[in-house]
Amino acid sequence: MLPVRRLGPLSVSAIGLGCMNLSHAYGVPPTPDDGAKLLNRALDLGMTFFDTAALYGNGGNERLIGSAIMHRRREFALASKCGLDMVDGERCLNGSPGAIAKTLDAALVRLGTDHIDLYYMHRLDRNVPVEESVGALVRAKEAGKIGAIGLSEMSSATIRRAHAVHPIAAVQTEYSPMVRNPEVAVLETCRELGIGFVAFSPVARGMLAGAVREADYVPGDIRERMPRFTEPNLSHNLVAVRAFAALAAELGHTPAQLALAWVLARGEHVVPIPGTRSVAHLEEDVGAAAIVLDTRVVERVGAIFDGTIRGARYTAPMQAQIDTETLPGEELA
């Protein structure tokens, strides 16, 4: 079994599964049967934390989880998200209490359950005070529909405002050796307040797993629009990625395993949630839980990427919905 870590009241496997790419964002998704096989294999390997959202596949990812593994509900903690949703075929950010309640009720139907263990605000709606959004989640918790409250891609200041309304169990933000924004303030804020930190894209959307060697993405892959993953930035960034892969080989690990072990080493309150469509890669990821890196290796990994990555993390419209702190000199468009 995998070691466990705490996210507020939840005890979960030290490595969880990000389920998004089984339905969303990286071109044509796998078949429902293949997605179900991967989800069940993750449970068999000891993963007990599964992360989805209303946005993913326009609810399709929640439906996949509902059909594939809900018969094993007692074996895992389930996380989903509200705030970002699809409305009339368009991506919509709405953190109002009414929208949150509507998204939650629809999610429960899609998932085939009456309770979600951890429910996140997917993004900060700047038109709605975060206190009002969290208040809606508190009412959902009081009604028994959710067990704990989370935030995604939000700043230290926003986290503190939300936490003053109700204890926040977990904050989710992109974090990997290549993407270090949480180190500005969020990692330490979570540690100080006793909040779990969930690292999504811990292998940098496949960049640190050998999946990106050139900008030859399939249609519908979100990386074809992300500045860090396209030229002229990609060739520059791959120089650091190759140095990272060489270090992984020196240590006897795969690059993905080294990335995950590095994230795990950043604190006992940190839980990475890599995503994959491959059972072989899933098994590789699980193997990272047994790797313990010494301080010297953690520093060597960090040094490879310190100040070296070019290009914005998101497209300009997506960045406008991100509240997480930016790094000094970070490109935003």
- Provide the token pair at 181: 């924004």
Respond yes or no: is residue 56 known to be catalytic: yes
What is the 3-state composition of the chain as percent helix, strand, coil, each rounded to the nearest 5? Answer: 45, 15, 40
Q: Tell me the residue type at 162.
A: A
CA–CA dist 108, 316 (Å, integer):
32
Q: What contacts 234, CB < 8 A, 6 or more positions away?
A: 212, 214, 215, 228, 311
Please give the torsion angle defined by the CA atoms of residues 34, 40, 44 and 50, in that order, rounded to the nearest 10 degrees.
110
CA–CA dist 141, 139 (Å, integer):
5
CA–CA dist 94, 258 (Å, integer):
37
Cβ contact 84:123 at 8 Å: yes
Torsion sign (Cα): 65, 5, 145, 318:
negative
Which of these, 247, 259, 250, 251, lies nearest to 284 by C-alpha position? 259
φ/ψ of 50, rounded to 5, equals: -125, 130
Catalytic residue among 26, 56, 119, 120: 56
Q: What is the set of active-site residues?
A: 56
